[in-house]
Amino acid sequence: MEKIKKIIHVDMDYFYAQVEERDRPELKTVPVGIGGMTNGRGVLCTSNYIAREYGVRAAMPTAKAIKLCPKLVLVSPNFQKYKKISQDIFKIYEQYSTKIQKLSLDEAYIDVTDCSKLNNDANAIAREIKERIYNDTKLTASAGVSFNKLLAKIGSDLFKPDGLAILRPDNISNKITHFPVSRINGVGKVTRKRLEAKGIFTFGDIQKHSKLDLINMFGDYGVTLYNYSRGVDQREVSSGGARKSLSVEHTFSEDYSDIKTLKENLLSVFYELESRLKKEENKTYKNIFVKIKYTDFQATTIESQIEFSLENFEKLFMNRFSQRVDKVRLVGLGVKFFNQDDHGQLSLF
């Protein structure tokens, strides 16, 4: 039999904002948004919890955030500072395991199945990691401890800030029935709406459907939903590094320039991209992009920081296609994920 894994997921609390509060304590009592605004444009990297009470969120246009919360104090991000802190935190993790999967500057899975410290008590290890993070950085983190990645990640989010949750394997499928589907890694707004349209709001609701039912509704992803809703997840903690982008391309059997056919093709590429995206670990994307390859093999790409939707992909496509109306042999759609290398660019928007 396979050994039961011990996995810890750690995520810093309101990371950039907490760092700024630490360094400027007067910010602790006011709503804070990390990000700037130039000529009325710009998006927030994150916000502190006071600002979140007003609905102010990461990736929200700064102008909108100010509308929601006129007293919002804007602080420019200092990516070098966050990166340095992140490095310090990851050095702590390395003392407990070599199997560490970095999801972003502030977030990681740590597989402590074979950790010899603290009698291999994963709960105690997580507590110690949190303490050491605090001692070294004066920042709080939240952690989830469980026997797979899905549940460890859900756990770290349960009692934020400064939380610690342990989800044990016994009777797990019954213990998670009340969780909303949005707790599943990969279920974003689009999938959530599709699930809700079918009356599926919680893990328990998913459990009521057969595997076949779910496959009919969601394709391959239906199997994942079937398993996750029961707390089953076989994914390994892999230190391979986060994927930077995901795209789907279709080369047509014939080259087209007629808009209707192109849009139909765009639609099918879109659906495939959407279904592949659902399998992605890190669902925070930064940009969406469209690639067009013309009949003469000249390729062009257009990218923008706008919401992931069919309409927006069409808009980007038309924007570029209108510059050169010609026969197209390939259309690609994709997203670029948010990761630490992008931080410098994010502030440009």
Please report, as residue ranges, which positions from 228 to 267 form the binding site for Mg ion (by CB under 5 A). none
Q: In the complex with Mg ion, which residue's Cβ is closer, 12 or 335?
A: 12
Among 22, 30, 37, 59, binds ligand TTP (CB under 6 A): 59
Among 12, 181, 214, 269, binds ligand TTP (CB under 6 A): 12
Among 329, 335, 334, residue whose Cα is nearest residue 250: 329
Cα separations (Å) of 52 from 27, 47, 55, 58?
14, 7, 5, 9
Can you name the residues that pair with 25 across neighbouring β-strands? Answer: none
What is the CA angle 123-128-132, rounded to 5? 150
Q: In the complex with ligand TTP, which residue's Cβ is closer, 158 or 232?
A: 158
Stretch that binds Mg ion, among 98-106, 152-160, 249-257, 277-285 (CB under 5 A): 98-106
Minimum separation from the CB atom of position 310 to Mg ion (A): 28
Helix, strand, coil percentages for the chain (3-state, nearest 5): 40, 25, 35
Among 5, 7, 15, 153, binds Mg ion (CB under 5 A): 15
Cα 163 from chain centroid (whole Å): 20
Q: Which residue has the tokens 């979140």?
A: 52
Does 82 participate in binding Mg ion (rule CB under 5 A)?
A: no
What distance in Å separates the CA atoms of residue 34 and residue 75, rounded to the nearest whole number?
5
What distance in Å separates the CA atoms of residue 273 and residue 221, rounded to the nearest whole number?
12
Q: In the complex with ligand TTP, which residue's Cβ is closer, 104 or 146?
A: 104
Cα separations (Å) of 99 from 16, 85, 173?
26, 20, 27
Residues 6 or more apart whose Cβ sits within 8 Å of residue 72? 31, 32, 33, 47, 51, 54, 56, 65, 66
Reply yes or no on whether 314 is catalytic. no
Minimum separation from the CB atom of position 50 to Mg ion (A): 16
Please report, as residue ranges, which positions from 275 to 294 form the binding site for ligand TTP (by CB under 6 A). 284
Q: In the complex with ligand TTP, which residue's Cβ is closer, 158 or 215?
A: 158
Does 20 participate in binding ligand TTP (rule CB under 6 A)?
A: no
Q: Which residue has the tokens 């899905």?
A: 150
274 binds, among Mg ion, ligand TTP, none (CB under 5 to 8 A by kind): none
Please report, as residue ranges, which positions from 149 to 178 form the binding site for Mg ion (by CB under 5 A). none
Contact indicator for 109, 149 with CB cutoff of 8 Å: yes
Does 20 participate in binding Mg ion (rule CB under 5 A)?
A: no
Does 107 participate in binding Mg ion (rule CB under 5 A)?
A: yes
Among 15, 221, 313, 321, binds ligand TTP (CB under 6 A): 15
Minimum separation from the CB atom of position 18 to Mg ion (A): 9
Minimum separation from the CB atom of position 63 to Mg ion (A): 24
Catalytic residue (choose from 20, 21, 94, 107): 107
Does 16 participate in binding ligand TTP (rule CB under 6 A)?
A: yes
Among 5, 6, 8, 11, binds ligand TTP (CB under 6 A): 11
Among 235, 239, 308, residue whose Cα is nearest residue 275: 308
- Considering Cα of 205, then 209, then 211, then 216, what sign does the dihedral take? negative
Does 46 participate in binding ligand TTP (rule CB under 6 A)?
A: yes
Q: In the complex with Mg ion, which residue's Cβ is closer, 108 or 316?
A: 108
Cα separations (Å) of 142 from 9, 52, 138, 172, 231?
8, 17, 13, 21, 20
State the residues that interact with Mg ion by CB under 5 A: 11-12, 15, 106-107
Q: Could you list the active site residues?
A: 107
State the residues that interact with ligand TTP by CB under 6 A: 11-16, 45-46, 58-59, 104, 106-107, 160, 284, 338, 346
